[in-house]
Amino acid sequence: MQHLYIHVPFCQRRCSYCDFSIAVRKRIPAREFVDVILKEARGADLENLETIYFGGGTPSLLPPEAIGALLHELTSSRRTPHAAREVTIEANPEDVTVESARAWMAAGINRVSLGAQSFDDRVLNWMHRSHDAERIGAAVHALRGAGIENISLDLIFGLPEELNRDWERDLDMALALRPAHLSLYGLTIEPRTPLDRWISRGATQAPGDDRYAEEYLTAHRRLTADGYSFYEVSNASLPGFRSRHNSAYWSGNAYLGLGPAAHSFDGRTRRWNLRAWEAYRRAVAEGRSAVDSEETLTDEQRELERVYLALRTSEGLALTVPYRPLPSLTVQGWVVVRDGRLKCTPEGWLRLDSLVSDLTMQTETP
Ligand code: SF4
């Protein structure tokens, strides 16, 4: 296996828009977490790991010693190089200090994905984030001081109108830090989140599609002008700093997931673990399988997924079959054909789902 994901489910509170599988904890059960992950990993193929990704939840809440212990145990006795080529941790800016940055570096972390989201304290407060804008710059400086240059910033766009969020200012503030990588996510309203409840009782309004599109296209223009390249619908990087781990997902490669709610994929079958931390912990501790369920993709599903994943990326889709709607999609400026590959324009990426369904429903039979 070349790609390993470890889900760390702990958070200090739930953000207003979040429906991830998390466990809100004041005290992080780090020792228990390390033990249970190592137990789940027993017998797994962890040779030749190329990437390791600590996602969450908030992995930066784990003490650096716990991260170090996991990396040591999962890699040291195997053919994996001392450190896999890319080892990422998702971090809350508040958890990044000079000490934690140095400790992560010493443990083998060489990439940090910071959940910045916005540089406006009012907006961060609305999101229920625990950091303020100032902490983002301080975190970037602490990481660079420790020798970690491969830093990614997450930003959320498409917020409700009444927040009057200044998206251009947020982009300027992010670009002023010159991160190696940026991930931009449009706000979605997930059921049973605080945001969903606010909307149901009329306390706020769901953001409109126009704002979403305008902000997405603005980000494309600004980042591209600053030397970033969008290599995937939501991700842009400076040259040489694409996320290898996430690129493996978009290429349809196999990966192993450990931890509650973690997904694994062997190229045809996808499995996912029990979502709740307690249920997962008990199952593994009692020697039962942590897998909640699985699905094996049919040939048709695999093809649909292949088209969808390829069109998410800047490499696009190899044009091996004639697609009937292609001329009209090209005229509308949503796709281009270059070097025998079909690629989405930014306007095409905005309507990726419908574009994929148009293409796959209407393949010409020769
Ligand atoms: S920190 Fe991330 S995982 Fe935790 S509640 Fe907020 S958005 Fe969800």
pLDDT digits over 27-75, tens only?
999 999 999 999 999 989 898 899 999 999 999 999 999 999 999 999 8
pLDDT at 362: 62
CB 86 within 8 Å of CB 54? no
Q: Return the H-helix or E-strand segment holding 11.
A: strand 10-11
Q: What confidence score (pLDDT) does residue 366 get?
A: 47
Over residues 221-250, the mean pLDDT reads 97
Atom of ligand 1 nearest to the CA of 12: 4
Look at phi and psi of residue 88 and say left if phi exceeds 0, alpha if psi is from -120 to 50, else beta. Answer: beta
Does the pLDDT value for residue 227 go beyond 90?
Answer: yes
Residue-level pLDDT at 327: 83
Q: How many other C-beta atoms are found inside a 10 Å radius of the C-beta of residue 203? A: 11
Q: Which residue has the higher pLDDT, 170 or 77?
A: 170
Direct distance between the N- and C-terminal alpha carbons of the chain, in angstroms, rounded to an integer: 39
Give tens-digit pLDDT for 182-194: 999 999 999 999 9
| Closest Cα to atom 3 of ligand 1 | 57
Residue listed under structure tokens 């240059």: 149
Query: Which residue in 71, 70, 101 sits closest to 86, CA to CA?
Result: 71
- The listed range with the strongest mean pLDDT (147-151, 303-307, 359-363) is 147-151
> Which residue has a Cα nearest atom 2 of ligand 1?
57
- Residue 236 CA to ligand 1 centre (angstroms): 22
How much distance in Å is there from the Cα of 332 to the middle of ligand 1?
38
Question: For residue 145, is pLDDT > 60?
Answer: yes
Task: Classify the C-alpha dihedral 169-174-175-176 as positive or negative.
Answer: positive
Q: Does 321 have pLDDT greater than 60?
A: yes
* Ligand 1 cavity residues, CB under 6 Å: 11, 14-15, 18, 20, 22, 56-58, 115
- Among candidate residues 176, 196, 179, the one with its CA nearest the CA of residue 187: 196
In the chain, the percentage of residues whose pLDDT exceeds 90 is: 83
Q: How far is the CA of 126 from the centre of ligand 1 (A)?
A: 13
CB 89 within 8 A of CB 95: no
Instruction: Count CB-CB contacts under 10 A for residue 279.
Output: 14
Atom of ligand 1 lying closest to residue 90 CA: 2
Whether the pLDDT of residue 365 is over 60: the answer is no
What pLDDT score was predicted for residue 80? Answer: 55
Cα 39 to Cα 93, 254, 281, 305: the distances in Å are 30, 21, 10, 32
Q: Does the pLDDT value for residue 359 go beyond 90? A: no
For atom 5 of ligand 1, the residue with the nearest CA is 14
H helix runs in 234-325, sequence order: 244-250, 277-285, 299-312
Pocket test for ligand 1, best of 12, 17, 18, 185 (most atoms within 8 A of CB): 18
pLDDT, average across residues 99-104: 97
DSSP helix/strand/coil, 269: strand
How far is the centre of ligand 1, averaged over its atoms, from the C-alpha of 24 (Å)? 10
Band the pLDDT of 254: cuts 50, 70, 90.
very high
How would you class 277 by CB atoms within 10 Å of its CB: exposed for 0-12, middle for 13-18, buried for 19 or more? Answer: buried
Which one, of 21, 14, 38, lies nearest residue 285 by Cα? 38
Q: Write down the pLDDT at residue 264.
A: 97
